[in-house]
Amino acid sequence: MASSVSPPSSRLARWREDHASQLSDLRRGLFRFARNRLSLLGLWIVVVMLGVAVTGSTWVPFPGDTLGDVHMDNRLQPPNATHWFGTDDAGRDVFTRVIVATRTSFQVGLIILGVAISIGVTLGAVAGYVGGTPNQIIMRLTDVMLTFPGIFLPMALAAALGRGMVPAMLALSVTWWPGYCRLVEAQMLKVREEDFVAGARAIGASQRRVIFRHILPNTLTAIVVKASMDFGFAVLALASLGFIGIGIQPPEPDWGSMIALGRRFMPGAWWISTFPGLFMFVMVLGFNLLGDGLRDLLDPNATVK
């Protein structure tokens, strides 16, 4: 019997044929990426961390320790066979808490960047393409936002919104966009002047088409690279809020609040602060290395040197 739908293998073959150029670009990009050991290391760190974040809560030895269990008889144990990273002042397993906090960090990081990129790209695109007064308004607002030193604005906002994960997330999300806004605006200004944009207008493309098909795709590399580097810093910012006590609240685990807690027991019970700090360090490093590698991977004009 003749089938009207081509079998998947031939459809795949046809897709591969239609996208041969993109695939070969991707292969070349992967080649460049793979030749750089540091970006590979970054990729590994991120993949392992992601795996830990997704599956962590199912295999940690003491899941109850993230939900409010207290074992006062077992407090401040140094690292040993049962408690690999030791226990904290309430007898909770530090390993369990560090692992589970990885998931929270990923979730929050993703949401912060998601919101920040949506706001920043939209505003930046408008500012960059329209120019004139809208540009002035948006960019001056961006400047004002960027003048606040680092964590100060999200801190004030989070404190005003109340304690907990959601306010912290919200506060970071709405203060994280200016970097993207400025990046996209600058990129738009650059790409807008390219001949192919005039070319698109010359064949009668609408403004929407010019922006979404011709300009924004060519700013994508910069956005993706910045996002991957930013991820680590978003996690860091969340931890900072936790550290000063206005982020995620115990007993829910968070690297920042764990470090803050451990501070009181330094240097004797060094493990309480050290392990969450180490995880945070590795994660930020991983995303930064990955970001560098992605820049090589995504540039369509880069050649193999």
Partner 1 sequence: MLLELRNLTKVFVARGRRQVRAVDDVSLAIPEGATFGLVGESGSGKSTLARMIPRLIEPTSGEIVYQGQNLCHFSEKQMRAVRQEIQIVFQNPFSSLNPRMTVRQLVGEPLQIHRKASGASLDRQVLSMLETVGLQPEQANRLPHEFSGGQRQRIGIARALILHPKLLILDEPTSALDVSVQAQVLNLLLDLQQRLGLTYLLITHDLGVVHYLCDRAALLYLGAVVEQGPINWIFQRPSHPYTRALLDDVPSVDPDQRMLERVSLEADSFSVHWGGTGCRFAPRCPARQVAACTTVEPPLGALAESEHRVACHLAHPLLAGESV
**Closest to partner 1 by CB, 27 or 213:** 213
**Is there a contact between 225 and 289 (Cβ–Cβ < 8 Å)?**
no
**Closest to partner 1 by CB, 16 or 263:** 16
**Closest to partner 1 by CB, 162 or 217:** 217
Q: Which residues bind partner 1 (CB under 8 A)?
A: 17-22, 25, 194-196, 198-206, 209, 213-214, 217-218, 300-301
> Distance between CA atoms of 56 and 148, rounded to whole angstroms?
36
Minimal distance, residue 37 CB to partner 1, in Å: 27
Minimal distance, residue 211 CB to partner 1, in Å: 13
> Distance between CA atoms of 178 and 74, rounded to whole angstroms?
47
Q: Kindly state the tokens that stand for 54.
A: 């997704």
Residue 234: its H or E element: helix 220-243
> Distance between CA atoms of 57 and 59, rounded to whole angstroms?
6
> Distance between CA atoms of 36 and 212, rounded to whole angstroms?
32
**Closest to partner 1 by CB, 12 or 54:** 12
Minimal distance, residue 114 CB to partner 1, in Å: 23
Minimal distance, residue 67 CB to partner 1, in Å: 48
**Closest to partner 1 by CB, 151 or 200:** 200
46: nearest Cα among 104, 106, 97:
106
Query: In one letter, which amino acid is 245?
Result: G
Bridge partners (DSSP) listed for residue 93: 87
Residue 14: its H or E element: helix 8-18
**Closest to partner 1 by CB, 28 or 163:** 28
Minimal distance, residue 300 CB to partner 1, in Å: 5
> Distance between CA atoms of 124 and 231, rounded to whole angstroms?
20
**CA angle 284–166–183, rounded 5-degree value:** 50
Minimal distance, residue 28 CB to partner 1, in Å: 11
